[in-house]
A and B are shown apart, each in its own frame.
Chain A
Amino acid sequence: MPKRIILLALPALAAYLFVLIIPTIRGSRYSLTDWNGLNPEYEFVGLQNFRDAFTSDASSRAIYVTAVIAISTTILQNIIGLLLAVGVNTRIKSRNLLRVFFFTPVVMTPVVIAYLWQYLLAPNGPVNSMIAIVSPRETYPSWLGNENLALLSIIMVMVWQFAGFVMVIYLAGLQNIPEEILEAASIDGTSSRQKFWSITLPMLAPAVTINIMLSIISGLKAFDQVWVLTGGGPAGLTNTLSTTIYRNAFQYGEFGSSIALALILTFAIAIISIFQYRPLLRREAAL
C-alpha cells in the first residue's frame, strides 16, 4: 500500500483544524482576559473569570441547574429506557410498532418538541385540561412560571425525547445475550426475576455504561430545550451552562467570562468522555 495515500486525509484535517482545533486554542486564551468581543483592546485578568464563574450568582446557579438536569435525566431516561427495552424485547405482538413509536421523538427537531411542550404546559394548555378532568381544582400548576416546576418540565421533556434512544441501545445489548444461556437457566429452574438480576443485567453492563455516559453528556450540554421552553426563565433561574455561555457572549458581550464557563463545561465533559472512551482507547492502544 503506497505511503502517499495519507495525503487523502488532508482535506478532512484542514476542515477539522479550522473548525475545532484552532478556535479551541484561541478560545482558551480569551478566558484569561476581560475581552468584550468587539473592542480590539483587552486586558489580561488572570483567573478572575474562573473565580467569578464559581462565585457569581448567575453562573453558580447555572452550574447547579445543569447538574440537576444532567443527573435527573440520566436516572429517569435509563430506568424508563431499560424497562421499554425489556418490554419490546419480548414476543408481544406490537413489539415492532412500539419500538418505532417510542423512538420517534429522538429524530424530531428539538425546537419543534420544545414549542409543542410550551403549548402543552401553558396555563390553559392541554396538560392542565387533563388535570381538570381527573381532579378539578381552584388553581392549576404554572408549569413554566415557577422555577422548580419549570426545571421539572425541562427534565420531563428531555426524558420524553430521549427515552427511546436509550431504549434502542439497551435493546441492542439485550439482543446480544445468547438465547442458550437464558434457556439453560430456565431449565435449571431459575425464576424470571433471578434471571434478570443475575444474567441479563450483568451482561448489559456495557450498554449501561454507554447509556449513562451519553445521557450525562447530553444533559450537561442541554441548550435547545431550555432556550425555547423557558428561555432560561423565570428570572433566569433555569439557565444552564450552555444558555449562559450563549447569553454572556452574544447578548451581554462578555466573551472572556463566557469562555471561562465554556472551559468549565468542557472540562466536565472531557472527564466523563475519557471514562466513556477509555476501554476503546485501550483497545486502540493495543493495536
Chain B
Amino acid sequence: MKRYTWRLGLIEISLIALAVVFAFPFYILFTLSLRGAEATASPLSLPESLNFVNYSDAWNKAGLGSAMLNSFLITVISVILILVLSLLAAYPLARLASRLAKGMYWLFLFGLLLPFQVALIPLYQAVRDIGLLGSIWSVILVYVGLQMPFSIFLFAGFIRSVPKDYEEAGWVDGASTWMTLRKIVIPLLRPITSTVAILNTIFIWNDFLTPLLYLTGTERITIPVALFAFVGQYVSSWPLVFAGLVSAILPVLILFFIMQKSVMKGFAGGLKG
C-alpha cells in the first residue's frame, strides 16, 4: 500500500473542484424546486425557507401520480417481457450448432446495426392498424421488439462463456426443457440477467420519443411526456417546473444510488459488448 503523496492530494483537490462545477446544475435544480415566491432573490442563493408546496402543486397540476404509475407499469412489464423473451431466444441460438440457429442469431445481430429512424413511421402505422395506439401495450410491444437484438446479444455472449456440462447432465437425465432451463440455466445467468435488466430499465424509464409518438394526448403518458406537456403550460413558473423535474428523476436516482456498483458495471460491461 503506497502512502498518500502530495501528488495524490493535488489530484484529489482538482477532481473535487471539478465535481463542484459539475454539481452546479444539481444545486440549482434542488434549491429552485424548494424556493417560495421570493423570486427577487438571486438564483444562486440558498432558499430562505424550505418550501414543499411546489411539490404538491406540481404533483397535482402535472398529473405526475398517474404518469409515474404509467412509467412504472410500462417499465416493469417491458423489462420482464424483454428478459423472458431474450433469454429464451438466446439460449438455443447460443447452444445449437445448426445452420438455422446460426442464421437466426445473425439476423438478430443485424438489428444492432439498424437505427430506429427508418422503421419509425411504418411501425407507427402498423401499431395504429392493430388498434394499440394510445394503450400502454403499444410502447411495451415497441420496446420488446426494439431491445431484442441487444439483450439477446448480451445473453448469448454470456451463455457461450458458461460450460455446457451442467445442462448436458440435465438433458441426459431426461429432465424436461422447462426444468433444465429453470433449475440449471437461469440460475447460472444471474449476473448477466441483472445487467440486461438494469440497462433496459434505465433506457425505458428515460425514453421520450416512443411515448411521445404513441401516447400523446391520452391518460397513459409517461413521466418524460408529462413533464414536456407540463412545462409547455407553466414555463414561467420555474420553481413549480423544477419540483416536477425532481419528482420525475427521484425514483431512478434512488435506484441508482442503491445499486450504483452494479449499474456502473452494467454500463461498462454491457455496452461494450
Contacts and interface: CB of A to CB of B under 8 A. Distances in A.
B91 A16 contact: no
A224 B89 CA distance: 32
B151 to A, nearest CB: 9
Interface in A54-100: 84, 87-88, 90-94, 98-100
A171 B268 contact: yes
A83 to B, nearest CB: 9
Interface in A245-281: 245-246, 249-250, 255, 258-259, 262-263, 265-266, 269-270, 273-274, 277, 280-281
A112 B249 contact: yes
B141 A19 contact: yes
A9 B104 contact: yes
A119 B22 contact: no
Contact of A92 (B11, B146, B223): B11
B218 interface: no
Given A18-B145, A84-B18, A249-B121, 4 more contacts: A24-B119, A27-B121, A115-B241, A116-B29
Contact of A19 (B96, B123, B245): B123
B96 A109 contact: no
B113 interface: yes
A111 interface: yes
A197 interface: no
Chain A, interface residues (CB within 8 Å), range: 35 or more
B145 A109 contact: no
A245 B208 contact: no
Given A5-B177, A12-B88, A101 B22 contact: yes
A119 to B, nearest CB: 6
Nearest to A171: B268
A106 B25 contact: no
Given A1-B95, A20-B146, A115-B245, A8 B89 contact: yes
B6 interface: no
Contacts of A126: 24, 28, 43-44
A187 interface: no
A112 B145 contact: no
Interface string A7-50: 11101110111111111101110100000010000000000000
Contacts of A227: 208
Contact of B112 (A90, A111, A277): A277
Interface in B140-165: 141-142, 144-146, 148-149, 152, 160
A146 interface: no
A117 interface: yes
B266 to A, nearest CB: 10
A23 B115 CA distance: 12
A8 B152 CA distance: 12
B249 A129 contact: no
Contacts of B190: none
A6 interface: yes
Chain B, interface residues (CB within 8 Å), range: 35 or more
A112 B248 contact: yes
A238 to B, nearest CB: 17
A101 B15 CA distance: 11
Chain A residues touching B, majority SS: helix
B19 A273 contact: no
Contacts of B23: 101
7 contacts: A9-B89, A12-B108, A16-B145, A101-B23, A103-B264, A107-B263, A119-B238
A98 B20 CA distance: 11
A14 B18 CA distance: 48
Contacts of B271: 169, 210, 214
A273 to B, nearest CB: 5
Contacts of B98: 3, 6
Interface string B243-273: 0010011001100110010011101110111
A11 B88 contact: yes
A104 interface: yes
Interface string B188-218: 0000000000000010011011000100000
Interface in A150-200: 160, 165, 168-169, 171-172
Contacts of A108: 206, 249, 252-253
Contact of B119 (A6, A19, A172): A19
A8 B171 contact: no
B85 A11 contact: yes
A169 B268 contact: yes
A87 B15 contact: yes
B255 to A, nearest CB: 8
Given A1-B171, A98-B19, A6 B118 contact: no
